[in-house]
A and B are shown apart, each in its own frame.
Chain A
Amino acid sequence: MDILQTKNLTKYYGEEPLIVKALDGITLQIEQGSFTAIVGTSGSGKSTLLHMLGGLDTPTGGSVVVDGQSLSGMSRSELTIFRRRKIGFIFQNYNLIPNLTIYDNIVLPVELDGRNVDDEFLKKIVSALGLEDKLQRKPNKLSGGQQQRAAIARALITKPALILADEPTGNLDSRTSHEVVGLLQMTGKRFHQTIVMITHNDEIAQIADRTIRIEDGRIAESRWQG
């Protein structure tokens, strides 16, 4: 089943003849439970694409449908709630809130939605990510890899329809990158999550089920692996 579909997605800046086509007609389907890596050089449009998928930016044309709902029909406040419930984000710079503990950071999206934290689920996630003894610490007391693991936990806790990861290993050394992306893959499979990850690093991409290569705002290649 496809959890995410885009149809002829475009994002243009400026006007003819000086038009910049950041995205130039992207049509893709993402299957539920799959791990997709979107690769491309900087400026290829991959980040713009991820922002569109997450409703963080509005396209010039085309549509994005996540879990049966079209993002284009939503008001700002609807989009906010939709993102909170349906999409987990993982960023390059972790985006943890510095004055909250790791525990509070992880449960934040559930609490923002006024729901109760599923303690058992939380325990499973935290142990899968090896964060048991870090929960009461503040983010700045953790290494980069540990902070990113906390961010993965925060993305998983809402059991979202889709996890979007934007260069999750961009700030990490190569060894830690391999660990973080391995954990992302492992927890994704274990908790049946759909993950779309952006990276410029081909080596990191090999861990995904599928690789989509973006060049000049278009899909240059799409292949399944394993």
Chain B
Amino acid sequence: MGNEKDFSVYREYNKETLTSKVVMELEKTEEILRSRMLTSEQEKERLQRTISEIAHQVKTPLSNICMYHDMLSDSDISKDEADTFRRIISQQLEKLEFLIDSLIKSSRLESDMIRLNVENSSIFHILELAVNDIVHKAERKKIELTIRCDPDITAFCDVKWTAEAVGNILDNAVKYTPEGGNICIDACPGEVYTEIKVQDTGRGIDSGHYNDIFKRFYRESSVSKEEGLGLGLYISRNIITLQRGYIMVHSVPGRGSCFSVFLPH
């Protein structure tokens, strides 16, 4: 019986009648409500996952600190050993501090606690701010930095946060480009978006991992000796997406990577 009834309702769907149109509109409303409910459930799941990821990230440095702290209170250790332990503890504390800072940033971004001051901004100015933070690191590695940006180029975005997003990309570029390499930054306006391109001569990314690198706490296994938490690009993508832009990657492993940030203008 049930099936027959369903079938007759279904027959009414695709007719030019008023009932059919009303049913369709009602259905759309139902869909919207259902999808909202689903979204909130998914949010909850995501939150739980996030908490467990964070706990995991905090635990390692914390147990290191505990361990070395205990060892310090042992009266048998030499002064040299004590110094080493203290140095390790302070390194781990720095790591924790950096982790917490990054987490605060990303959580504020996610919970919309930050009001992004989106306005027509000069890309040149943003690049200036972003490059300032990495220029010394680049010099130390003898990496040549080239910036090509017309001073008139603009995009609708928040200057400070966009500089942070681009800065994170640049920071990675410096980190994964060997000594004597090149990093080239280009800005060019298109029909809808302004593109900021960061091209390096680093180790590159396998195309299968293009999307992984933006995941929170993701680190390629082959780069585990480099310092980092796997939050930089995650934060970058959040900042850019919040401003209705997006990031694309193109890379040739062994030759270099190119990150393109697109922001509406």
Contacts and interface: CB of A to CB of B under 8 A. Distances in A.
Contacts of A145: 191-192
Contact of B13 (A69, A130, A143, A192): A69
B192 A179 contact: yes
Contacts of A21: none
A179 B31 CA distance: 30
B35 A33 contact: yes
Contacts of A115: 21
Interface in B3-43: 10, 13-16, 21, 24, 28, 31-32, 34-35, 38
B255 interface: no
Contacts of A62: none
Nearest to B260: A178
A183 interface: yes
A168 B159 CA distance: 33
Nearest to B215: A226
Contacts, number: 77
B205 to A, nearest CB: 11
Interface residues of A, number: 38
A175 B215 contact: no
B148 interface: no
B213 to A, nearest CB: 10
B262 interface: yes
B99 interface: no
Contact of B246 (A78, A159, A207): A207
A186 B246 contact: yes
B217 interface: no
Contacts of A182: 193, 245-246, 248, 262
A226 B214 contact: yes
A179 B193 contact: yes
Nearest to A78: B14
A56 interface: no
B192 A81 contact: no
Contacts of B246: 182, 185-186, 207
A175 B250 CA distance: 13
B244 to A, nearest CB: 6
A115 B212 CA distance: 44
A78 to B, nearest CB: 4
Nearest to B237: A226
A14 to B, nearest CB: 32
Interface in A142-176: 143, 145-146, 149, 159, 161, 175-176
Nearest to B262: A182
Interface string A94-125: 00000000000000000001110000000000
Contacts of B158: none
Interface in A76-101: 77-79, 81-82, 85
Nearest to A160: B28
B35 A143 contact: no
Given A81-B16, A226-B214, A179 B244 contact: no
Contacts of B195: 175, 178
Contact of B191 (A81, A176, A186): A176
Given A69-B10, A79-B14, A182-B262, A176 B190 contact: yes
B204 to A, nearest CB: 14
Contacts of B14: 74, 77-79, 81-82, 85
Contacts of B249: 206
Interface string B245-265: 110111000000000101010
A225 to B, nearest CB: 3
Most buried by B among A114, A115, A161, A225: A225
Nearest to A3: B31
A130 B192 contact: yes
Interchain residue pairs A-B with the least CB separation, the first 5: A225-B211, A78-B14, A81-B14, A82-B14, A206-B210
27 contacts: A1-B38, A32-B31, A32-B38, A33-B35, A78-B13, A81-B15, A113-B21, A130-B191, A143-B191, A178-B195, A178-B260, A179-B262, A182-B246, A182-B248, A185-B246, A186-B244, A192-B32, A203-B248, A206-B210, A206-B211, A206-B248, A206-B249, A207-B246, A207-B248, A225-B211, A226-B214, A226-B215
Given A113-B21, A178-B195, A179-B192, 4 more contacts: A82-B13, A82-B14, A114-B16, A203-B250
Interface of A: 1, 32-33, 69, 73-74, 77-79, 81-82, 85, 113-115, 129-130, 143, 145-146, 149, 159, 161, 175-176, 178-179, 182-183, 185-186, 192, 202-203, 206-207, 225-226
